[in-house]
A and B are shown apart, each in its own frame.
Chain A
Amino acid sequence: AQSVTQLDSQVPVFEEAPVELRCNYSSSVSVYLFWYVQYPNQGLQLLLKYLSGSTLVKGINGFEAEFNKSQTSFHLRKPSVHISDTAEYFCAVSAPTGRRALTFGSGTRLQVQP
């Protein structure tokens, strides 16, 4: 079974500052990794995913994430945030075999302040 830990429940940051949202996972097999964003009272939208290959993954809205196998991490970064980035961000993991449903972390609330 897999598990995901998002280390920060809330991250306040000023507009145009850089941000990093941390995610660590646990799994006995190789995994696929995802970051989703959720705006209030809406469903989740895929930001980016790591399946294989290059460990630096670029996504939508200027976000990127780096897969680090030795540290079992998949941290999300953006060099300069906007007010519109205020949302809840979820890290998730799935395995190539067995139960295919994604396992999610508890989420990180990104609050961008002017």
Chain B
Amino acid sequence: DGGITQSPKYLFRKEGQNVTLSCEQNLNHDAMYWYRQDPGQGLRLIYYSQIVNDFQKGDIAEGYSVSREKKESFPLTVTSAQKNPTAFYLCASSIGTAPTKDTGELFFGEGSRLTVL
């Protein structure tokens, strides 16, 4: 089955630690995204990547970092600089590249819930 796999599903972190959330897709999509979800605030864009070896900051990139070394993978690192990292993180992908084909429709993973102790 084609889809997006996020791991781990639940993660606990002590203050001051960096953590990396994994996101893998086998949909052959060019574009990948990371969103953060907090109660009552909807989804906010952290980073996105429209092609391998390239990525752009979203609306709330401070305290986060990403890499896109392979088409299938887009890991997100939550650094110790992120002041309030406890949240639900969602990875998504879209067709990307060809504007005439890509409507922006996103396909989502199941999410990773990060709790800072």
Contacts and interface: CB of A to CB of B under 8 A. Distances in A.
Interface of A: 6, 9, 32, 34, 36, 41-46, 49, 51, 90, 92, 94-97, 99-107
Given A46-B106, A103-B45, 6 more contacts: A6-B42, A46-B105, A97-B99, A100-B50, A101-B33, A104-B35
The interface size bin for chain B is 20 to 34
A102 B40 CA distance: 18
B42 A49 contact: no
B40 A106 contact: yes
Contacts of A94: 103-104
A106 B37 CA distance: 10
Contact of A9 (B40, B58, B110): B40
Overall SS of chain B's interface = strand
Contact of B105 (A41, A49, A99): A49
B113 interface: yes
A72 to B, nearest CB: 18
Given A105-B42, A106-B40, A43 B111 contact: yes
Interface in B17-66: 31, 33, 35, 40-45, 48, 50, 56, 58
19 contacts: A32-B105, A34-B104, A41-B111, A41-B113, A42-B110, A43-B108, A43-B109, A43-B110, A46-B105, A46-B106, A94-B104, A95-B104, A97-B99, A100-B96, A104-B35, A104-B43, A104-B44, A106-B41, A107-B40
B78 interface: no
A112 to B, nearest CB: 20
Nearest to A42: B110
A99 B4 CA distance: 22
